[in-house]
Amino acid sequence: MTDEEQRLRSGLLAGLSAYLVWGALTLYWKLLTDFDAFELVGWRIMSSALIMGVVLTITRRWVHLRPLLHDRRLIGRVALAGVLLTCNWSAYVYAVVNDHVIETALGYFMAPLGTMAVGVIVFHETLHRSQRIAIGLGVASVVVLTVSYGAVPWVALILAATWSVYGWLKKEVPLTPLESMAAESFVVLVPAIVLVAVLAGAADSIPASASAGQLVLVVLTGAATVVPLMLFAWAAQRVPLTVLGPMQYLVPTINFLLGWLVFHEDLPVWRVAGFALVWAGLALVTVDTIRRARDRGRSTSSSIGRAPDHPHIPRDESSVGDTVG
C-alpha cells in the first residue's frame, strides 16, 4: 500500500468514525433526559472550553489565537459563530431529551439545502438546475411536514438555519478547526458559567440530583464534543470533499432510525412523504456533485501537457474555483 493510499484509508476511517460518533451522541444525550436541556448545554460549553484550553496548552497553539486580539471584525464573527453553535446545540439537546429525535434528523438533512441558500443570498452564487430543484423540494417538504405535525417544524428549521449560517461564518474565519472551536467555546464560556450557576440552586439541577454516573457523563460532554471534531479535521485533510460530503448524511440517517426504531416516535405516512422530498433533493444534488467532480477531473487530466492555445494569451480560468454541485 502506497503512502497516499494509507493516507486516504486513515482519512476515511477518521471521517467515518466522526460521523458515527456524532450520530451516536443522540444515545448519549438520552441518558441525561432527567435534566434541563439548557443546563446540559451550559455544562457542555464549560467542559469543551476546558478541554480546548488543555489541548492548546499541550500543543502550544495559544499564539494562533492572537489575531483575535487585534481584529474586532474577526472576534465579532467568532462570537456570532459561538452564539449560533450554542443555539444549534440547545435546539438539538432540547429535541433529544423531549422525544423529537426524528425532527433533529430532518434539521440536519435540510442543512445542506440551507447552505445552498446562503451561497445564493450572501455570495451571489449561481445554482445548478439540480440545486434549484433540491431547494424547491426542501420548501415543499416543510409544507408537507407542517401539515403532518400540525405546526411548523421549528426545531428542524432552527437546526438547519443555525448550522447553515454557522458554516458561512466559519468560511470567513482564518483559523483551523481546533483553534476556531476553542475560540467559540471561550466567547460563550462566561454566559455558560452564569447559566449553570443560576440553575444550580434548583432541586432538580445537575449538581443537586445527578448520580455519580450521570455526573461523569455530564463532565464528559466536552470530550464527546471535541473528539469527533478532531476526527473530522483529520479526515478533511486527507479525503476529497466529494467523498467526505455525502458521508455527512450518516448523522441524520442514524438519528432518523434511532427515533423511529429505538425510541418509537410517531412516523405517519405524511411525515415519511415530507422526508422523502428532502431525500430526493439531497440524492439529486449528491449525484450531480459527484458527476461534475469527475468531469472536472477528466478535463484536468486531458489538458496536462497540452500547449497553451496562444503563446501570448492565457487560458480562460474563469471556472477555476467554481462551486461544485
Strands (E), 191-309: none
Q: Is 70 exceeded by the pLDDT of residue 275?
A: yes
Predicted local confidence at residue 299, as pLDDT: 63
pLDDT digits (tens, 9 = 90+) for 226-266: 888 888 878 877 877 667 767 788 889 899 999 999 999 98
C-alpha cell at 79: 462570537
* 81: Cβ contacts below 8 Å, ≥ 6 apart: 166, 169, 170, 173, 180, 184
Q: Is 70 exceeded by the pLDDT of residue 323?
A: no
Residue bearing cell 445537575: 206
Predicted local confidence at residue 294, as pLDDT: 74
Q: Is 60 exceeded by the pLDDT of residue 99?
A: yes
Predicted local confidence at residue 215, as pLDDT: 95
Question: What share of the chain has pLDDT > 70, as a percent?
Answer: 89
Rounded to the nearest 5°, which phi and psi values hold at 125?
-75, 155
- Cα 155 from chain centroid (whole Å): 15
The rounded distance, in Å, linking the Cα atoms of 319 and 325 is 13
pLDDT digits (tens, 9 = 90+) for 25-76: 999 999 999 999 999 999 999 999 999 999 999 989 898 888 888 888 888 9
Count of other CB atoms within 10 angstroms of residue 215: 14
pLDDT digits (tens, 9 = 90+) for 187-210: 999 999 999 999 998 999 999 999
Mean pLDDT of 159-166: 90
* 110: nearest Cα among 259, 248, 264: 248
What's the half-sphere exposure (Cβ side, CA atoms, 13 Å) at 318?
1
